């Protein structure tokens, strides 16, 4: 089912490589091109995340109010999403769209590029893994170790940046989860081809820069707009009508 995507990725990489004359540089250029194409969706995703943060207190109120009635709770939450034109999965779309490229690149490096390709001789085999290189030549494995460590660091940094607006136990929980995720990514990256790690590192570095200089401004602006919209929205009163009971009749 992935063959068509693998063919496209390989064709695009070949086209870039014919100009760049380096497979590693071609992967970096491809990654930047994908991130540029996804920029409008990333901004939309940022707006969705901002809206979620603003709506979160309201959602918690609904969850607490109907905690004993899961069906009513689901109905009220769906109604709330609809009224506020909010899609809970809207913030994940750019990530979902990048994942197929991630897996297709794995197949391209393994099956299509002669000898796996190289990155200016610094990384002589883009199909090689950090674990495999470390087992055969520890000195030659140093560049592979650098990109796998970056794999973990560039997973950690965005999550730490996201937790800056949180306080107390929630902030501590987010930081702990970020560290665990970073360690997990290093373990996973130990067996991934260097070219896939290069793709992820480039994409994540782009995301960090974007988060520092663009995402935060978009987030702050949109959160302010959403807070103003909610403040001016009409107050809804949840009225529960009492059941009418028949009046008792006096006996004659």
**Quick one: pLDDT band at residue 241, thresholds 50, 70, 90?**
very low
- If you average pLDDT over residues 12-40, what whole number do you get? 92
Q: Among residues 183, 28, 198, 178, which one has the least CA distance to residue 130?
A: 198
**Quick one: pLDDT band at residue 57, thresholds 50, 70, 90?**
confident
- If you average pLDDT over residues 115-136, what whole number do you get? 90
Per the model's pLDDT, the better-predicted residue between 187 and 87 turns out to be 187
Separation of alpha carbons 57 and 102, rounded Å:
36
| Number of residues that this document lists for the chain | 252
**Quick one: pLDDT band at residue 126, thresholds 50, 70, 90?**
very high
Q: What is the pTM of this model?
A: 0.76
Which is it for the CA torsion 189, 96, 39, 55, positive or negative? negative
**Domain assignments of the chain as residue spans, ordered by start:** 3-122+215-232
- Beta bridge mates, 119: 123
Please tell me whether residue 129 adopts helix, strand or coil conformation.
coil
CA-CA-CA-CA torsion for 105, 108, 110, 113, nearest 10 degrees? Answer: -130
Per the model's pLDDT, the better-predicted residue between 101 and 194 turns out to be 194
Separation of alpha carbons 28 and 36, rounded Å:
12
Read off the tokens for 8: 């496209």
* Residue 3 pLDDT > 50: yes
The proportion of the chain whose per-residue pLDDT surpasses 70, expressed as a percent, equals 76
**Cβ distance 123 to 198 under 8 Å?**
yes
């Amino acid at each position: 089912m992935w063959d068509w995507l693998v063919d496209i990725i390989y064709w695009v990489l070949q086209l870039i490589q014919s100009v760049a004359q380096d497979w590693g540089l071609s992967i970096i250029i491809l990654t930047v091109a994908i991130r540029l194409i996804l920029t409008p969706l990333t901004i939309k995703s940022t707006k969705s995340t901002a809206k979620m943060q603003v709506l979160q207190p309201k959602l918690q109120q609904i969850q607490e109010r109907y905690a004993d009635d899961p069906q009513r709770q689901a109905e009220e939450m769906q109604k709330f999403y609809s009224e506020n034109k909010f899609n809970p999965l809207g913030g994940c779309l750019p990530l979902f769209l990048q994942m197929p490229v991630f897996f297709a690149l794995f197949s391209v490096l393994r099956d299509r590029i002669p000898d796996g390709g190289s990155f200016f001789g610094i990384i002589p085999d883009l199909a090689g893994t950090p674990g495999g290189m470390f087992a055969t030549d520890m000195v030659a494995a140093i560049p592979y170790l650098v990109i796998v460590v970056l794999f973990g660091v560039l997973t950690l940094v965005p999550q730490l940046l996201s937790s800056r607006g949180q306080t107390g136990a929630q902030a501590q929980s987010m930081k702990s989860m970020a560290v665990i995720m970073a360690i997990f990514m290093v373990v996973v990256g130990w067996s991934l081809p260097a070219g896939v790690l290069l793709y992820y590192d480039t994409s994540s570095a782009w995301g960090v820069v974007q988060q520092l200089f663009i995402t935060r401004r978009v987030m702050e602006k949109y959160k302010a707009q959403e807070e103003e919209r909610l403040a001016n929205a009409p107050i809804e009163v949840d009225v529960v009508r009492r059941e009418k009971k028949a009046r008792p009749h006096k006996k004659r």
